[in-house]
A and B are shown apart, each in its own frame.
Chain A
Amino acid sequence: MIKVNNITKTYGDLTAVDNISFEVPQGEICGYLGPNGAGKTTTVKILTGMTLADSGHASIGEYDIAENSIAAKKQIGYVPESGALYESLTPYEYLTFVGELYHMAPNKIDTKIEDLTEFMGLEDVLHKQMTDFSKGMKQKVLIISAVIHNPEVIFLDEPLNGLDANAALLLKKLLHNLTQTGKTILYCSHVMEVVENLCSRIVIINEGQIIADDLVKNIKANNQEASLEDVFNKLTDTEDKNKKAEAFSKVITE
């Protein structure tokens, strides 16, 4: 469903993504991991049509994202890490706006907003401007806006940001159910525990290059580590964390 072929993207002297390729078949939830600045968000921006790759191809379903971007974009939902939304609108106005952009019928938009906001516990603030919302409340609105139009492919960039434990659990269950209905999900995160529990397969990117792409159990076995966190640390950072933490706390308490 998601295909990435030899994609490269540079910003000035910085190569954010360097000739990467991977695929995510329909109905799979794939974890996309990497340290800060590794190239995760750039990859997702290319796949969602927000920016163009310098070279290579990416497609969603049968549509090439650069050549047939509108058709490809109709297939996707996206929760950006930036959490950007129009805060001076109310959740109802924002979600109606999103629904209309996907040509949904007005009564269907209303029904979906009502149901989805109730699931997320937002029904009491549905008609309040989002300027005073907590990060978690805005994140819930973003999650609803990513799925309201029933997309085939969902990109989630740190979707648990700001969510409380109950909402996070609800989202994880929801994602599991969605994959069973045939939705394809690319899940970007730093939280290894969640990725390990949620995703059967992971792709790890570091300094713009893919350094691992396999089932979670295979990656752990190949690297002879017990947890995904240890594997991630081994592959992306060779520093001794204990020593570093010790030095850091010394600076703070000086």
Chain B
Amino acid sequence: MIAKLCQALNIDYIQLKTLIKNHLRIDLRQHKGIGRNTTTKIPPLIYSGIFYFFMSLMVSISLLQYANIFLFEFVIFSYAMVMSLFTILLEFGNTIITPEDNGILGFRPINSRTYFTSKLINLFIFNTFLTFALGLIPAIFGIFIQGGDWSFPIVFFPFLLLATTVSAAIVVLIYTGLLKILSYKKFKDILAGIQIIFVFVIFFSYQFVPRMVNKHSFSSVELDNSWLNLAPPIWFSGAVEFIRGDVTGRNSLFLIATLVFSVILAVFAFRKISIEYTQNISSLQEHSGQDQSKNRKESQRETNLLFSIFKSEELSAGFKLTTSMMKRSRELKMTIYGMMGIPLAYLGILIYDNSIADPFTQATPESQFWPGIMNKLVLVFLSLMVTLIYHNMFFSKRWKAAWIFHSSPVEEPGKLLQGVKLAVVLKAFIPFTFLFCIIYGTQIPLSHAIQASAMFLIIGLVLLSGVSIFTKSFPFSKIKKPGSKTRRLLYFLIMPFFLLIFAPVLQFGFSNTNNYIITMLGLFALFLILESIAVKKTSKNLRLN
């Protein structure tokens, strides 16, 4: 029957099966990079699953006591649809757009629709796995929420899958639509922008939804607002309630809207996009490199200056390679700016909550201990971003080029990595600290904002040096697999618990100006010690590699 359906849709069934099998095999198989320690042991997809499981647990708990079943469904559907968009934008873009495929499959007799369908199904399989991780806890919680019962998970889960699939389809349409009308360069630029915005939106909404629920104690009456009826998540909620037996006119309209919307998306994707898909993919590879000669002088001056300060060719080489990659690799830019989006969203939340307080006044003996500490720990939490950016400097689509590090007589690989860190600090972390200082300056006295930012910077350096001790790879020597970005988000959520170690240091540092200076000097000394250990340890690690 499936074969006949495929035939009717001009899809080659045999090719479709083999393409899906092959793509899944490639995506899920362990990858071996260049060097001893580059094999990925756990598929990053598993990390994504864990991340979404915990996120949905947190959202479900925050809704449990406030929401009725309709509101619960609405929030979960909204959350799941946005998360699905986010995941595909950040992690599975390559599942849809793989220019490299053209070199391997472009001359094979595969029609565009067959190839497009194989990509869609591949994406659907990943989406189903993530939907399961996202929906498992809410499906169980729904039984116990006001208006819920045992039938809830059975009806809710298929609609949740449909909702996330619709989300995924919207991303596919955006991607393929952009592909059709834009040049490769513009396509990548716009995609980078969309990804950054989405990271910001996701982190903001993840913090924002529970706050809204807590503050306003939403009820289903508020969901009667007419503008809200235009949002797809409310259609899915109404459809679930209709199937569960709440047969009202409004719910039946929502059910119809759900089905019509899904069908229109599917038909549009097939009729409009699938036919020109392979041609659009092949055009992605038809672009010429840009002339970079005008940037050469500036770059040379920078390198000469660095060499005169650090007297290390290896450090200069690491710095130069990393800055070039940060300037020219869109993949890297997307990740770096995405990473910066998280702390910015977090700052947005703190401003919304009126939670940014002057760390100096919060450290007086009469102030409450915990609010004061939490306020200062934000500095530590946000400065974690620099370690995530550093971590990204080890991945590249051109990972094979890393053979150069193994064949060159690199005497001190630790110095090379120091160059990588220096590039991260100068090109990403310091500009971000400046932005951080400006935002802080709008909330607290400017002189205190500058001092807090300086503390933020030095904590970031300490964390960066500490994390870099464990580096076991040369820069840009590993390949990213779907799910690896979410794995780092998981790290971002878990790490703050370990950072409580900084609490007494910060409490002491912000108690008065003298203590501030002592703390800064102490942290700077710690940074120098850690950096010295990092250079020695990484040199040892990488020489053996």
Show the binding face of A for B, using Cβ within 8 Å: 11-12, 14, 45, 48-52, 69-71, 73-74, 76, 78, 80, 82, 84-86, 88-89, 93, 97-98, 100-103, 129, 131-132, 155
Contact = CB atoms under 8 A, between A and B. Distances in A.
Contacts of B111: 70
Given A51-B282, A52-B279, A84-B100, A78 B107 contact: yes
B109 interface: yes
Given A84-B100, A84-B103, A93 B282 contact: no
Given A11-B288, A101-B18, A73 B100 contact: no
A88 B24 CA distance: 11
B108 A73 contact: yes
A40 to B, nearest CB: 15
B31 interface: yes
A69 B29 CA distance: 32
Contacts of A103: 14-15
Interface of B: 14-15, 17-19, 21-22, 25-26, 29, 31-32, 100, 102-111, 279, 282-283, 286-288
A48 B103 contact: no
B31 to A, nearest CB: 6
B157 to A, nearest CB: 33
A46 to B, nearest CB: 11
A11 B287 contact: yes
Nearest to A131: B32
Contact of A101 (B25, B102, B106, B110): B110
Given A70-B110, A70-B111, A88-B31, 10 more contacts: A11-B286, A50-B103, A51-B106, A80-B103, A85-B104, A86-B26, A93-B25, A101-B110, A103-B15, A129-B29
A215 B100 CA distance: 37
A98 B32 CA distance: 23
Contacts of B17: 100
Contacts of B14: 100, 103
Contact of A84 (B15, B104, B279, B288): B104
Main secondary structure, interface of B, reads helix
Given A11-B286, A14-B288, A88-B31, A50 B18 contact: no
Contacts of A78: 107
Given A11-B287, A12-B288, A51-B282, A88 B29 contact: yes
Nearest to B30: A88
A103 B150 CA distance: 48
User: Max chain A CB contacts within 10 Å: which of B283, B286, B287?
Assistant: B286
B15 A88 contact: no
A51 B282 CA distance: 6
User: Max chain A CB contacts within 10 Å: which of B17, B32, B109?
Assistant: B109
Contacts of A88: 25-26, 29, 31
Given A97-B22, A101-B15, A73 B288 contact: no
A73 B286 contact: no
B109 A73 contact: yes
Contacts of A76: 107
Nearest to A146: B107
B286 A98 contact: no
B25 A73 contact: no
Contact of B22 (A50, A86, A155): A86
Given A100-B14, A101-B15, A131-B32, A86 B104 contact: yes
Contacts of B288: 11-12, 14
Contacts of A11: 286-288
A48 B107 contact: yes
Contact of B108 (A14, A51, A84, A98): A98
B15 A82 contact: no
Contacts of A101: 15, 18-19, 105, 108-110
A100 B15 contact: yes
A70 B286 contact: no
A-B pairs with the 7 shortest C-beta distances?
A: A50-B106, A84-B103, A48-B107, A100-B18, A73-B109, A74-B109, A78-B107
A78 B105 CA distance: 11
20 contacts: A11-B286, A11-B287, A11-B288, A12-B287, A50-B106, A73-B108, A76-B107, A80-B107, A86-B22, A86-B26, A88-B29, A89-B22, A93-B22, A100-B14, A100-B17, A101-B105, A102-B109, A129-B32, A131-B31, A155-B107
Nearest to A52: B279
Nearest to B110: A101
A71 B18 CA distance: 19
Contacts of A69: 109
B399 to A, nearest CB: 11
A198 to B, nearest CB: 22
Contacts of B104: 84-86
A46 B283 CA distance: 12
A201 B111 CA distance: 34
B26 A50 contact: no
A21 to B, nearest CB: 22
Contacts of A129: 29, 32
B32 A50 contact: no
A132 B32 contact: yes
Nearest to A88: B29
A97 B110 CA distance: 13
A155 B288 CA distance: 25
User: Max chain B CB contacts within 10 Å: which of A82, A100, A101?
Assistant: A101
Nearest to B23: A86
Contacts of B102: 50
A152 B109 CA distance: 14
B543 to A, nearest CB: 22
A52 B282 CA distance: 9
Contacts of B279: 52
Nearest to A82: B103
B32 A73 contact: no
A70 B111 CA distance: 7
Contact of A73 (B21, B22, B107): B107
B381 to A, nearest CB: 37
Contacts of A98: 108
Contacts of B32: 129, 131-132
Contacts of A86: 22, 26, 104
B107 A50 contact: yes
Given A78-B107, A80-B103, A101-B110, A89 B282 contact: no
Nearest to A16: B286
Nearest to A99: B18
Contacts of A52: 279, 282
A129 B22 CA distance: 14
A50 B108 CA distance: 9
Contacts of B31: 88, 131
Contacts of A85: 104
Contacts of A131: 31-32
Nearest to B107: A48
A83 to B, nearest CB: 9
